[in-house]
Structure 1
Amino acid sequence: MKKVKVLFFIYQMGAGGAARTLLNIINNLDRNKFEPHLVTLNFDGSYEQELKDDVIFIKLETQRLSRSIFRLAKIIRENQIDVVFSTIPRVNTIAILANKLSFSKAKSVIREADNLGGTWKTNLQLIGFGLIYKLSSQIISLSEGVKSNLIKRYKIKAEDIKVIYNPIDLEQINEKMADDQLVEGHKHIFDTSDKIVITAGRLVKQKDQRTLLNAFAKVNKQLDSQLVILGEGPLEDQLKEQAKELNIFDRVHFLGFQRNPYIYFKQADLFTLTSIHEGFSHVIAEALATGTPVVSTNCKSGPSEVLNNGEYGDLCKVGNDQELAEKMLQVLSMDKSETKERIELGYERAKHFDAKKIVKRYEEVFLQTLNK
Structure 2
Amino acid sequence: MADSKKNLMLMVPMLHQGGFERVCIKTARLMQEYYNVYILIFSSKDINFDVTGLEVIDIDVPAKKGTINKVFNVIKRVIKTRKIKKQLGIDIAYSFGSTANYVNVLSKGKERVLTGLRCQTDMESPKKIKMFCNGSDQVLSCSKEIVRQLLRDFNYNKSTYIYNPLDVEDVKAKGSEEIADMPFKGEDVKTISCMVRNDYIKGVWHLVKAFSLVYKKHPEARLIVLGAGNWSEYEKLSEQLGVKGKACFPGVKKNPFSYVSSSDIYVCSSNHEGFPNAVLEAMALGKPVISADCKTGPREILLSESEYDKLIKEIPNGDSTKDAIEGTYGILVPDLGENVDMDPNNITGGEKLLAEKIISLLDDEDKASRYAEKAYERAMFYAPEKYKESIHEIFKRYE
- Note closer, same or farther for the CA distance 1:364–1:227 as it changes in structure 2 (3 Å cut): same
Q: How does 1:267-282 map to 2 (within 5 A)?
A: 267-282=262-277
SS of residue in 2 equivalent to 1:291? coil
Q: For residue 225 of structure 2, what is the aligned residue in structure 1? A: 229
Q: TM-score, normalised by structure 1?
A: 0.89
Sequence identity of aligned pairs in percent?
23
Q: C-alpha displacement at 1:45, in angstroms? A: 3.8
Deviation per residue, 1:165-190 (Å, 9 max, x gap): 11112232122224x221x222x514
Letter in 2 for 1:313: G
1:203 paired residue number: 198
Matched residues in 2 for 1:39 and 1:149: separation? 29
Q: Is the 8 A contact 2:14 2:41 kept in 1?
A: yes
SS of residue in 2 equivalent to 1:6: strand
Q: SS state of the match for residue 135, structure 2?
A: coil
Mapped partners of 2:291, 2:129: distance in 1: 30
Paired AA for residue 181 in structure 1: E
**In the TM superposition, what are the counterparts of 1:316-335 in structure 2 within 5 Å?**
316-319=333-336, 320-335=350-365
Shift of 1:9: 0.8
Gaps in structure 1 of 5+ consecutive residues:
none
User: Could you say if the C-alpha distance between residues 28 and 191 of structure 1 is closer, same or farther in structure 2, counting changes exceeding 3 Å?
Assistant: farther
* Alignment deviations for residues 336-367 of structure 1 (CA, whole Å, 9 cap, x no partner): x4433322211110011112211221111011
Question: How many angstroms does 1:150 deviate by?
Answer: 2.7
CA distance in 2: counterparts of 1:265 and 1:302, whole angstroms: 20
Pairwise mapping of residues 137-148 of structure 1 onto structure 2 (< 5 A)? 137-148=137-148
Q: Which residue of 2 aligns with 1:4?
A: 6
The residue that corresponds to 1:185 in the other structure is: 181
Deviations 1:137-165 (A, max 9, x none): 11111111122233345x2513x011101
The aligned runs of 1:9-158 (5 Å cut-off) are 9-29=11-31, 31-48=32-49, 50-53=50-53, 55-63=54-62, 64-100=73-109, 105-116=110-121, 123=124, 125-153=125-153, 155-158=154-157
User: Aligned partners of 1:70, 1:326: CA distance in 2, in Å?
Assistant: 53
Contact 1:27 1:51 in 2 (8 A): no
Is 1:312 the counterpart of 2:307 in the alignment? no
Are the structure 2 counterparts of residues 175 and 35 from structure 1 closer, same or farther at C-alpha, using a change threshold of 3 Å?
farther
CA displacement at 1:300 relative to structure 2:
0.7
The 1-side partners of 2:250 and 2:130 are apart by 38
Match of 2:257 in 1: 262
2:386 aligned with 1:367: no
2:379 is aligned with 1:354: no
Q: Residues 112 and 66 from structure 1, CA distance in 2 versus in 1: closer, same or farther, beyond 3 angstroms?
A: same
Q: Deviations over 1:1-43 (max 9, x none)?
A: 82122111111012111111112211222x3312210111123
Deviations 1:98-144 (A, max 9, x none): 123xxxx3111111101137xxxx85x43343234322111111111
2:23 maps to a residue whose letter is: T
Change (3 A) 1:222 1:132: closer
- Answer whether contact 2:235 2:248 (CA < 8 A) is retained: no
Change in 2 beyond 3 A, CA 1:349/1:94: same
Match of 1:214 in 2: 209
1:252 positional shift: 0.8
The CA distance in 2 between the partners of 1:115 and 1:152, in whole Å, is 15
CA change 1:129–1:341 in 2 (3 A) is closer
The one-letter code matched in structure 2 to 1:22 is: C
- Whether the 8 Å contact between 1:12 and 1:41 is mirrored in structure 2 is yes
* Kept after mapping to 2: 8 A contact 1:25/1:355: no
Distance 1:259 1:38, change over 3 A: same
State the AA in 2 paired with 1:170.
V
Aligned CA-pair RMSD: 1.8
Deviations 1:313-332 (A, max 9, x none): 11111221110001001112
Distance in 2 separating the partners of 1:333 and 1:288: 20
Letter in 2 for 1:299: C
1:168 aligns with one of 161, 166, 177? 166
Give distance in 1, aligned partners of 2:28 and 2:128: 29
**Gaps in structure 2 of 5+ consecutive residues:** 63-72, 309-326, 337-349
Contact 2:203 2:269 in 1 (8 A): yes
In the superposition, relative to structure 1, how do residues 311 and 136 fare at CA in structure 2: closer, same or farther (>3 Å)? same
What is the rounded CA distance, in whole Å, between the counterparts of 2:299 and 2:283 in structure 1? Answer: 14
* Structure 2 partner of 1:295: 290
Task: Name the CA distance, whole Å, in 2 between partners of 1:321 and 1:329.
Answer: 12
In structure 1, distance between residues paired with 2:107 and 2:221? 51
Give the conservation status (yes or no) of the 8 Å contact 2:142–2:275.
Answer: yes
Alpha carbons of structure 1 residues 18 and 32: separation in structure 2 relative to 1, 3 Å: closer
C-alpha displacement at 1:92, in angstroms?
0.5
Q: TM-score, normalization: structure 2?
A: 0.83
Specify the alignment match of 2:66 in structure 1. none
SS in 2 for 1:357: helix
